[in-house]
């Protein structure tokens, strides 16, 4: 037995798995799997983690199990959750994304969240339009399906009355040129692409006809996504940055659960192998802007490609003419960083669990088979 920590993958019944043991190529020990079965499975789950002597439990927790897992994590203080429950805070709801951004002074579209209907409707009577209304919490990954544009107070009230969304989540409509999805590992951007609305539309979700491309993602967008990743202390992360027609940048969504091609999950695995072995294994080298090159391949190829490995050793990479491809070999201001475990709770449920529990069933994920809430799991 090595002196490495014992790893476990956190699975939930009926939820798509983000990681498989094969993502952790080279890890010499058995990687355990612990599956949560929903509905009062908490005590059994805790016992299984203890019995298997797991030190690090890796995986995304869907919104519908988030509060349960905050409780589980408290009962397993010796276990490191990767990502931590605090890091997964924005996975739970759009409200949580808003709270996170408010705390860290990260730009978001002006947003109002009400828990009182009268207060919400009074606000509607005095505010400006158009507004965006979103379902904050619940099964997601429907790509814009629970996001609505309203032009009058009457329309907004009719929508709330019909849909029953709670809390009342209202956002200023930002005329958007596009939004940009950025994926990060250890605070280093590893993939980024534009999503532009279809002609005449305003939703940029690719499932709603939006187009995507990988070219010329502005550095300011990468910088903003790094700020959000650092605010959540995320081992891996994705942000959607809205690019306004006026050039302004704001965060629309962010989460540790997101759609990622298998080779990106391999990169996360390789990063975690390096991180959790405290450097006994090779630090992965993921060139910045690799996406501009890989993005030229068809998604049919990208979906099947595994274990892409870049070598940073200049002796192996020099061309016949001795050229070193310097720009490709440098960190370019975005080092792959070590994320250390937290020693206290940043977003305790006593303070932040504000949705009535009746709307948070920990039974089955119902329609949410994605394993995530905030950022769609469907392939881009």
Binding site for ligand ADP (CB under 6 A): 109, 132, 134, 140, 143-144, 146-147, 171, 173-174, 176, 179, 202-205, 240, 252-253, 376
Nearer to Mg ion, 8 or 109 (CB): 109
Smallest distance from ligand ADP to CB 175, Å: 7
Nearer to ligand ADP, 244 or 262 (CB): 244
Nearer to Mg ion, 253 or 266 (CB): 253
3 state SS for the chain: CCCCCCEEEEEECCCCCCCCHHHHCCCCCCCEEEEECCCCCHHHHHHHHHHCCCCEEECCCCHHHHHHHHHHHHHCCCCEEECCCCCCHHHHEHHHHHHHHHHCCCCCCCEEEECCHHHHHHHHHHCCCCEEEECCECCCCCCCCCEEEECCHHHHHHHHHHHCCCCEEEEECCCEEEEEEEEEECCEEEEEEEEECCCCCCCCCHHHCCEEECCCCCHHHHHHHHHHHHHHCCCEEEEEEEEECCCCEEEEEEECCCCCCHHHHHHHHHHHHHHHCCCCCCCCCCCCCHHHHHCCCCHHHHCCCCCCCCCCCHHHHCCCCCCCCHHHHCCCCCCCCCCCCCCCCCCCHHHHCCCCHHHCCCCCCCCCCCCCCCCCCCCC
- Choose from Mg ion, ligand ADP, none: what does 204 bind? Cβ within 5-8 Å by kind: ligand ADP
Nearer to ligand ADP, 26 or 110 (CB): 110
- Choose from ligand ADP, Mg ion, none: what does 79 bind? Cβ within 5-8 Å by kind: none
- Choose from ligand ADP, Mg ion, none: what does 80 bind? Cβ within 5-8 Å by kind: none
Smallest distance from ligand ADP to CB 134, Å: 6
Under rule CB under 5 A, which residues in 165-184 are in contact with Mg ion? none
Ranked by CB distance to Mg ion, the top (closest) residue is 253
Under rule CB under 5 A, which residues in 241-270 are in contact with Mg ion? 253
Per-residue contact string for residues 200-239; x = within reach of Mg ion by CB under 5 A: ----------------------------------------
Smallest distance from ligand ADP to CB 232, Å: 17
Ranked by CB distance to ligand ADP, the top (closest) residue is 204
Smallest distance from ligand ADP to CB 339, Å: 25
Distance CA 241, CA 178 (A): 9
Smallest distance from ligand ADP to CB 189, Å: 19
Smallest distance from ligand ADP to CB 176, Å: 5
- Choose from ligand ADP, Mg ion, none: what does 132 bind? Cβ within 5-8 Å by kind: ligand ADP
- Choose from Mg ion, ligand ADP, none: what does 360 bind? Cβ within 5-8 Å by kind: none
Smallest distance from Mg ion to CB 237, Å: 15
* Total binding residues toward Mg ion, as defined by CB under 5 A: 1
Cβ burial 179-211 (10 Å sphere, 16+ → b, else e): bbbbbbbbbbbbbbbbbbbeeeebbbbbebebe
Smallest distance from Mg ion to CB 240, Å: 5
Question: Which residues of the shown chain bind Mg ion in the complex (CB under 5 A)?
Answer: 253
């Amino acid at each position: 037995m090595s002196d490495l920590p014992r790893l476990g993958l956190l699975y939930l019944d009926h939820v798509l798995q983000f990681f498989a043991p094969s993502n952790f190529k080279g890890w010499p020990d058995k990687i355990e799997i612990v599956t949560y079965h929903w509905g009062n499975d908490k005590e059994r789950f805790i016992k299984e983690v203890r019995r298997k002597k797991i030190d690090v439990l890796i995986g995304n927790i869907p919104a519908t199990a988030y509060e349960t897992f905050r409780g589980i994590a408290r009962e397993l203080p010796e276990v490191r959750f990767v990502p931590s429950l605090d890091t997964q805070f924005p996975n739970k709801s759009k409200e949580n994304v808003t709270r996170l951004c408010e705390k860290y002074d990260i730009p978001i579209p002006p947003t109002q969240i009400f828990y009182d209907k009268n207060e919400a409707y009074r606000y509607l009577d005095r505010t400006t339009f158009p507004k965006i209304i979103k379902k904050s919490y619940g099964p997601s990954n429907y790509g814009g399906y629970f996001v609505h544009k309203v032009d009058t107070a009457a329309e907004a009230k009719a929508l709330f009355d019909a849909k029953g969304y709670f809390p009342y989540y209202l956002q200023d409509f930002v005329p958007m040129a596009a939004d940009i999805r950025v994926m990060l590992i250890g605070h280093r951007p590893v993939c980024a692409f534009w999503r532009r609305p279809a002609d005449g539309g305003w939703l940029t979700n690719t499932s709603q006809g939006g187009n995507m491309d990988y070219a010329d993602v502005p550095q300011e967008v990468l910088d903003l996504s790094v700020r959000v990743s650092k605010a959540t202390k995320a081992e891996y992360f994705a942000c959607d940055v809205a690019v306004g027609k006026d050039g302004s940048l704001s965060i629309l969504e962010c989460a540790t659960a997101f759609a990622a091609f298998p080779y990106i999950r391999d990169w996360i695995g390789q990063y975690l192998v390096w991180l959790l072995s405290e450097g006994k294994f090779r630090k992965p080298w993921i060139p910045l802007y690799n996406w501009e090159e890989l993005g030229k391949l068809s998604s049919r190829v990208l979906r099947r490609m595994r274990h892409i490995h870049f070598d940073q050793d200049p002796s192996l990479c020099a061309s016949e003419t001795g050229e070193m491809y310097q720009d490709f070999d440098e960190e370019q201001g975005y080092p792959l960083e070590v994320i250390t475990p937290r020693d206290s709770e940043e977003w305790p449920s006593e303070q932040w669990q504000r949705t009535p529990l009746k709307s948070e069933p920990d039974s089955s994920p119902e329609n949410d088979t994605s394993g995530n809430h905030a950022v769609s799991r469907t392939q881009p």
